[in-house]
Amino acid sequence: MKNDIIFMRTINTNKLYDLGQQLAKIDLEAKRLRMEILDFIAQHPQDAMSMGALRVNYSRIKKGEFYI
């Protein structure tokens, strides 16, 4: 019984670690995409606003609060 509890705790800890790693990768990708959007807006401000694809406030993009 005691060994079962330790085994389950180890599995849960490993799963939690794996999920944390996946979340870190997603966060890095989101930051990279935010930078791409900021670069596009900086290079083509009129296009970004006139396309209608971006309906955002520039300061919100910096914080990561944007919608495409």
pLDDT in tens, 8-52: 667 778 888 888 899 999 989 988 988 888 888 778 777 766 665
pLDDT higher for 55 or 27?
27
| Overall pTM surpassing 0.75 (yes/no) | no
Task: Identify which of 37, 30, 35, 36 has the alpha carbon closest to the alpha carbon of residue 56.
Answer: 37
The angle subtended at Cα 39 by Cα 38 and Cα 43, nearest 5°, is 120
The predicted pLDDT at position 4 comes to 62
Q: Closest by alpha carbon to 45, among 33, 35, 32, 58?
A: 58
CB of 66 within 8 A of CB of 56? yes
Helix (H) or strand (E) holding 42: helix 2-43
Domain map of the chain by residue range? 2-63
